[in-house]
Structure 1
Amino acid sequence: MKRLIEKGLMFGNLFAVDSPALVERYNRALRHLTGLATALTEFHLDISGYSPEIGDELDDHHYLNHGGVNRQFILLSTEQRHCPLLNAEFSTSRDILRRFIEANEQQLFALTATDAVAGELENSVLAVSTPEHLFDIRRIVVEADTTAGTLAHAERLEALIERFMGEEDAWLDEALIGEMVETAKLTGDITRNPVRLRHVAFEQKNFWTAHFGGLYLFQDVKRSALIASTSKPVGRLPLNANLSLGDRKGIARFLRDNQLAEPIVKRHGADEVAILRQKMDFIIADALANDSVDLTDLSRSDMRRLAARYADSLPKEYEGLAAMVRWAETRGARPKIGLEHPSYFYLLRATDSPDRDLVNMLLAELTVLDVRQLFICHKEAFYRHYRTWPETKKAYVADLLAREYAMDKAGARAYLFGDEPDMNGGVPTTGLGARAGIRDDALGQDTQFA
């Protein structure tokens, strides 16, 4: 993994803690949450305040996330909102932390100027020992305060002020006035500078979790489903469908019924055909690497020329993509690609919906030969697969991602997956449809991409 770290593709974009003042604040927060402390004088943090260096030092990379639920966090700066979330147990955790920081940026900026803000993403369960417990995790409450208890003191002062204003002859109550003065010394003038954090509760209904080998839970859709990366959970679950990644027909039907996916290429001459060509290149690279071909300095043109020589090594995923590219670039017959065909999910991407990232994450795990989408949408799965690749493929993929993705992440995501989804609950305007000619064999008709 050293190659990925050197190229900024792993542990990249972390917040540097490199001053005695920041280290001291972090240790105050760490002791407050866990009773632990670090002896390191420099380290890096993700958005939650987790440090891989401290994880190594403590021999515990879950020191802020024991049990995989109710993740604790430490904020030293609002700049942490730009950082990734490492060792994620839930796909929603980073977005919740980012939205919390952005909604309270001014307050948090002031609070972290002199202290660390420590807290927890709290839900209604203490542990997830069975899949049924996942259905109890619907609302995440962000509990946060400084290590000095500034917010708690401010809340106490507000209550005292309200009592002072409401009680008759309260100005004669020396004990009340004295308590107000002493509390104000801890908070400052809250009438001019209110100390309060907003938007501290978030709904969590559709999400991915690393528990039980990886599960995608879709509850807030027309036809609910749980999709397991490995074996599907046993038991009666309150869902319309209980699936695994091997249930291709069920997953295709689920995506169609909920209008969660659409074809990448919908018509002749579409610009998006270049995305399919790039997927084909990744598949060629995989086949060449498995045949021990050195990929160093090979251009895409070089690899396409080599593809003819190694045609027998190319998988069926390549055949389906090539057929769709020919249709899109010519006036030939539209290919009939059934959902049992290995290329089926390579031809899809998520529709513009609040669940776009989650659906693209699911599609990435269904199309692991598309290494770029796997890296962008599902880093945990990417790192797991990366460890199994030949060295030549590791080098090729690392160089490609550093060259073509890391240089312009936002641009690459917009090109591959479209504009950012409507986070205000907008209804998708596009879904699965016949224009791409992807045949749904389970239903005996062309899937509709309307």
Structure 2
Amino acid sequence: MHRLIARGLMFGNLVRVDSPVWVERYNRALKALTGRTTEQTEFHIDISGFSPEIGDEFGDPLYLNQAGVNRQFILLTTRQRAAPLLNAKFSTSRAILRQFIDANERELFALTARDAVAGELINSVYRADTAAKLFDIRQITIEADTTAGTVATADKLGTLIDRFKREEDAWYDDVLIGEMIGLAKQTGDLTRNPVRLGKMTFAQENFWTALFGGLYIFRSVPHPAAITAGDKAALGPLPIAETYALKERNEIARFLKINGLAEPIVEARGVDAAAILHQKMDFIVAELAAVMGESLQGATRRDLRAMGRRYAQHLPAEWQGLSALARWAEAGGPWPMIDSEHPAYFYTLRAARGPEASLVNQLLAELTPLDIRQLFICHKEAFYRAYAGWPEAKKSYVADFLAGEYLVDKAGTRDALFGHEAPMAEPTPAVGPWSTGRKDTHQGFDVVDAVGPWGAVRRL
């Protein structure tokens, strides 16, 4: 993994902790949460305060995430909001922490100037020893305070201030006034430095979890389902209508279609569909070239095209399907028959506009492992697992490509691949392999019956 680390593709944007003051604050918070302290004097932390160096020291990568379902966190600075979340067990955890920091930025800035803030993402499940227990997680609540209990003290002081204002004889209550003065010495001026952290609660309806081999849960869609990357039989009975394994391609395609969760790249507005398809094809050629022993050092798109011609007879069905679709998109060639059983099918989709777009793109990334860019952007855990087993030539090529073409403009790349324009009042039906109802007079049958708006989905 040294290439990824050196290029900022792994452990990138972590916050460096190297001052004795920060180390001492971190240890106080760590002691309060886990009963342990670290001997490290320099280390790095992610958005939750997890440190890979301390994880190695403890021999416990879950020292801030007991049983994988109770994420605790330590904040030393609001700059942690730009850091990644390492060893994520739930797809929603980083977004929840980011929203908490953003919503309480002023208060956290004041608090972390003097102490560390420690807290927990609380749910009603303490141990998910069966997959069915994951469905008991309905919401996540954040509770946090400094190691000195400043927030709790401020809440108590606020209550006393309200009492002081409310009671007529409060001016003569020396005990009340003395208690207020004593608490104010701990909290400082609440009017200038507010220290109240709002208790925030987040719904947990649709999410991915790394537990049980990887499981996607969609509960708030019209037709709910769970999709597992692990052993479907090992999950046991689940309290949801349908459960699919990743290999059940036709069922997953149907699930995405009936819930309106995905759209064909060639019908997406505001994107260069042909360019996206060609890039996916290049990734597939790179995979084949690496297997064939080719050096990919400094390989350009022209080099990859040359390798594609050299090994044309070995190019897989994924490349063949994308190539046919690219010809249709660019030159109006004959539309290809790409149904849900075709290996290229999921490579032709992206998430539709909606609140579940990032989760759907993560699912699609797992279904299209040869698209290394989408895999890295949308599902880093799966990317790192796959990377470990690649030939050295592919590792080098992928690291160079992501560092040279993705990191330089992450926002622009994400927008080009996954961004959505405002929906049009009356979408114009497209003509081609995902037509919404055109009769193909040359072929003599209805295109929708053959392939449907998302490609052919075999009727179950």
TM-score > 0.5 by shorter chain: yes
Corresponding residue number in structure 2 for 1:221: 221
TM-score of the superposed pair, with normalisation by structure 1: 0.93
What is the distance in 2 between the residues matched to 1:282 and 1:231? Answer: 28
Judging changes above 3 Å, is the alpha-carbon distance between structure 1 residues 197 and 430 closer, same or farther for their aligned structure 2 residues? farther
Q: 1:428 to 1:125 in 2, by over 3 A?
A: farther
SS in 1 for 2:267: coil
Give the 5 Å matches for 1:358-377. 358-377=359-378
Q: Out of 445, 449, 452, which is 1:447 matched to?
A: 452
Contact 2:143–2:199, Cα closer than 8 Å, also in 1: no
1:281 equivalent in structure 2: 282
Q: How far is the alpha carbon of 1:240 from its aligned partner? A: 2.7
The answer to whether structure 1 residue 87 and structure 2 residue 95 are counterparts is: no
Contact 1:205 1:220 in 2 (8 A): yes
Displacement of 1:159 in angstroms is 1.7
Counterpart AA for 2:47: I
Structure 2 counterpart of 1:381: 382
- Give the whole-Å Cα distance in 1 for the aligned partners of 2:114 and 2:161: 25
Assess, with a 3 A threshold, how the Cα gap between structure 1 residues 197 and 135 changes in structure 2: closer, same or farther. same
Q: Deviations over 1:288-322 (max 9, x none)?
A: 11111111222211121221221222110001000
Identity among equivalent pairs (%): 59
Spell out the pairing of 1:325-404 with structure 2 (5 A cutoff): 325-404=326-405
Partner of 2:433: 437
Determine if the alignment matches structure 1 residue 313 to structure 2 residue 318. no
For 2:65 and 2:415, the matched residues in 1 are separated by 32
CA contact (8 A) 1:266 1:435 kept: no
Q: Which residue does the alignment assign to 1:120? A: 120
1:100 paired residue number: 100
Q: CA deviation at 1:21?
A: 1.3
8 Å contact from structure 1 (residues 217, 227) kept in 2: yes
- The answer (yes or no) to whether the contact 2:271–2:417 under 8 Å persists in 1 is no
Question: What CA distance in whole angstroms lies between the structure 2 residues aligned with 1:328 and 1:430?
Answer: 22
Counterpart in the other structure of 1:23: 23
> Any residues of structure 2 matched to 1:4-403 within 5 Å, and which?
4-198=4-198, 200-232=200-232, 234-266=235-267, 271-403=272-404
8 Å Cα contact 1:249-1:339 kept in structure 2: yes
Measure, in 1, the Cα distance between the counterparts of 2:270 and 2:76.
50
Q: Residue 162 of structure 1: CA displacement?
A: 2.4
Contact 1:268 1:328 (8 Å CA) reproduced: no
Match of 2:412 in 1: 411
Aligned partner of 2:3 in structure 1 is 3
RMSD (Å), alpha carbons: 2.5
* SS of aligned partner of 2:70: coil
Structure 1 pair 87–96 and aligned structure 2 pair: CA distance change class (3 A): same
Task: Quote how far apart the aligned CAs of 1:272 are.
Answer: 1.9
Quick one: which amino acid aligns to residue 278 of structure 2?
A: R
* CA offset digits 1:192-237 (Å, max 9, x no partner): 5432123611111111000000000011111111000122254443
Q: State how far apart, in whole Å, the 2-side matches of 1:157 and 1:101 are.
A: 24
For 1:138 and 1:225, the matched residues in 2 are separated by 16
1:268 is displaced (CA, Å) by 12
Residues 238 and 12 of structure 1: CA distance in aligned 2, closer, same or farther (over 3 Å)? same
Q: Structure 1 residue 429: deviation in Å?
A: 8.8
Mapped to 2, the partners of 1:102 and 1:71 lie a distance apart of 18
- Cα deviation for residue 133 of structure 1 reads 1.1
- Residues 374 and 429 of structure 1: CA distance in aligned 2, closer, same or farther (over 3 Å): farther
Q: Which amino acid aligns with 1:118?
A: A
Distance change (3 Å), C-alpha of 1:268 and 1:354:
closer
In 2, distance between residues paired with 1:189 and 1:310?
72
| Aligned-partner residue type, residue 264 of structure 2 | P
Of 246-255 and 184-193, deviating more is 184-193
TM score, norm. by length of structure 2: 0.91
Distance 1:193 1:429, change over 3 A: farther
Q: Which amino acid aligns with 1:253?
A: R
Looking at structure 2, the residues matched to 236 and 201 of structure 1 have their Cα atoms a distance apart, in angstroms, of 29
Give the letter aligned to residue 26 of structure 1: Y
CA contact (8 A) 1:434 1:446 kept: no
Conserved 8 A contact 1:434-1:447: no
Instruction: Return the offset for 1:116.
Output: 0.6
Consecutive unaligned residues in structure 1, runs of 5 or more: none
Alpha carbons of 1:199 and 1:73: their partners in 2 closer, same or farther (altered >3 Å)? Answer: same
Deviates more, 1:172-181 or 1:151-160: 172-181
Distance in structure 2 (CA, Å) of the matches to 1:199 and 1:62? 24
Query: Bigger shift: 124-133 or 94-103?
Result: 124-133
User: Mean alpha-carbon deviation: is it higher for 361-370 or for 154-163?
Assistant: 154-163
Contact 1:281 1:304 in 2 (8 A): yes
Quick check: 1:23–1:41 contact (8 Å CA) kept in 2?
yes
Could you tell me how far 1:428 is from its partner in structure 2? 11
**Structure 2 residue ranges without an equivalent (≥5):** 437-447, 456-460
Query: Could you tell me how far 1:444 is from its partner in structure 2?
Result: 4.9
Q: CA deviation at 1:97?
A: 0.2
1:352–1:428 contact (8 Å) kept in structure 2:
no
Report how many residues are paired.
Answer: 443
1:332–1:267 Cα change, 3 Å: farther
Q: Give the Å deviation of 1:166.
A: 3.1
Name the CA distance, whole Å, in 2 between partners of 1:124 and 1:3.
40
How far does the alpha carbon of each residue in 1:95-131 deviate from its partner, in whole angstroms, 9 at most, with x for none? 0000000011111011111111110001111111111
Q: Which AA in structure 2 matches 1:85? A: L
Checking the alignment, whether the CA contact within 8 Å between 1:439 and 1:445 is kept in structure 2 is no
Q: Label 1:229 to 1:267 Cα distance change in 2 as closer, same or farther (>3 A).
A: closer
1:412-438 Cα offsets, whole Å, 9 max, x none, are 111111149x9xxxx99999x875515
User: Secondary structure at the residue paired with 1:71?
Assistant: strand
CA change 1:40–1:330 in 2 (3 A) is same
